[in-house]
Amino acid sequence: MFAQRTKNLNSSFIRDILAVTQQPHIISFAGGLPDPQLFPVHELQQAAQLMHHIQGNALYQYSETAGLLPLRAYVAQSLTVADSQPDDIIITTGSQQGLDLIVRCLIDPGQKVAAEAPTYLGALQVLRANQAELVTIPSDDQGPDLNALEEIVKQEPIRFFYTVTDFQHTLMPHRVIHFGSFSKVIAPALRLGWINGPREVIKVVEKLKQAADLHSSGYDQHLVLHYLQSGALLPHLDTICTAYSRRLEAMATALTAYMPDQIQFTKPEGGMFIWATLTSNESTMTLFQSAIEQGVAFVPGEAFYAFSESHNSMRLNFSNSHVDLINEGVKRLASLVNGERLEGRSAIG
């Protein structure tokens, strides 16, 4: 009854476990959520007032598929890595939609795409849903294995390489399509992101987007535009970077204090997660079940590999828990990994 493309769909493991981990007694390192207490609500309210005053009823009208011109101009000028013009940008409904549009624009079913292992789970979902054939490139704290990538590109007809560049940095050559998002720097509920890429690609993506949803919410685009024009973004970034780096510090300190020999990790320079690997070969999928019983959650690393290549890694989110909870959550994890209780020890003074 269903189309072929639905055969490859599997529900996101993260979405499934988020339901479990959202119980109030659980300290959750599972989601990739920014802290809602840090959303710039007051500044967004001010921007909303101003946009109603300036736009009036027009605020609620249909608008152009590519996105509001002044918003594209802002992104082109201030938020892109290379010299860009508004026509090199299309506003998307979150960068997740950007991924889907680009894959549909460039990939026919069965064509090959290379991606890092581990990689962003949402990209794996998009690639599977669009029947791309995945080829994985091993990646570590130095980024993807470029020799492996070169070899694969020589041997196989790879259409493109999907990489998450920030905080697992690779150099950006030209011929790059870059996805951006306001989700983590302002608020994910706005569902606004963008694609910055070669103009001939953007033009075709625009047609696909028109068929998909006509345009991303004009209301939200005006809101973000007014917010950006108010100059509130940079001070807000300072606020969230300071808060998140404290939490990162707290998690790194607790991991080192409670599991000095049992876990390996590299402290990231940004983002919202620590990627940790057990030095034993224990399965983090099994550990996850007992962790839930102990009231702490994480995402087993396996979820981020197309072919379940890793069994003993885990992703730990630090952005959405306060430092005392981070300490307590890591302590609970350590008690499982160490097979002992650690009451009375504290990594955070």
Q: Are 284 and 311 in contact (CB under 8 A)?
A: yes
Positions 8 through 37 that interact with ligand PLP (CB under 6 A): 32
- Give whichever of 120 and 258 is closer to ligand PLP, judged by the CB atom: 120
Determine the 3-state secondary structure of 221 from DSSP.
helix
Check residue 273 for interaction with ligand PLP (CB under 6 A): no
Check residue 181 for interaction with ligand PLP (CB under 6 A): yes
39: which 2 tokens? 């959303």
Check residue 143 for interaction with ligand PLP (CB under 6 A): no
- Give whichever of 100 and 328 is closer to ligand PLP, judged by the CB atom: 100
Number of chain residues interacting with ligand PLP (CB under 6 A)? 11
Which residues, 6 or more positions from 137, have their beta carbon under 8 angstroms from its beta carbon? 114, 115, 116, 117, 144, 145, 148, 149, 152, 161
Closest CB 78 distance from ligand PLP, rounded Å: 17
Check residue 193 for interaction with ligand PLP (CB under 6 A): yes
Closest CB 96 distance from ligand PLP, rounded Å: 3
Q: Which stretch binds ligand PLP (CB under 6 A): 38-46, 90-98, 143-151, 152-160?
A: 90-98
Q: Are 126 and 95 in contact (CB under 8 A)?
A: no
Q: Are 161 and 149 in contact (CB under 8 A)?
A: yes
Check residue 183 for interaction with ligand PLP (CB under 6 A): yes
- Give whichever of 95 and 310 is closer to ligand PLP, judged by the CB atom: 95
- Beta carbons within 10 angstroms of residue 140's beta carbon: 12
Return the CA Rg of the chain.
21
Positions 144 through 173 that interact with ligand PLP (CB under 6 A): 164
Q: Are 149 and 137 in contact (CB under 8 A)?
A: yes
Q: Which stretch binds ligand PLP (CB under 6 A): 88-96, 147-155, 283-291, 330-338?
A: 88-96
- Give whichever of 33 and 257 is closer to ligand PLP, judged by the CB atom: 33
Check residue 268 for interaction with ligand PLP (CB under 6 A): no
HEC states along 304-342?
HCCCCCCCCEEEEECCCCCHHHHHHHHHHHHHHHCCCCC
Query: Which regions of 62-185 does DSSP assign to beta strands (E)?
Result: 89-92, 112-117, 133-140, 143-144, 158-162, 178-181
Q: Which stretch binds ligand PLP (CB under 6 A): 13-21, 44-52, 61-69, 180-188?
A: 180-188
Site string for ligand PLP, 114-133 (x = CB under 6 A): ------x-x-----------
Contacting residue, 21, 65, 84, 96, with ligand PLP by CB under 6 A: 96
Check residue 40 for interaction with ligand PLP (CB under 6 A): no
82: which 2 tokens? 């290379």
Contacting residue, 34, 67, 86, 94, with ligand PLP by CB under 6 A: 94
Could you give the angle at the alpha carbon of 230 between the alpha carbons of 244 and 216, nearest 5°?
A: 80
Check residue 95 for interaction with ligand PLP (CB under 6 A): yes
Closest CB 191 distance from ligand PLP, rounded Å: 7
CA distance 273 to 278: 16
Check residue 188 for interaction with ligand PLP (CB under 6 A): yes
Which residues, 6 or more positions from 47, have their beta carbon under 8 angstroms from its beta carbon? 223, 226, 227, 230, 232
Question: By beta-carbon distance, which residue lies closest to ligand PLP?
Answer: 94
Tell me which residues touch ligand PLP (CB under 6 A).
32, 94-96, 120, 122, 164, 181, 183, 188, 193
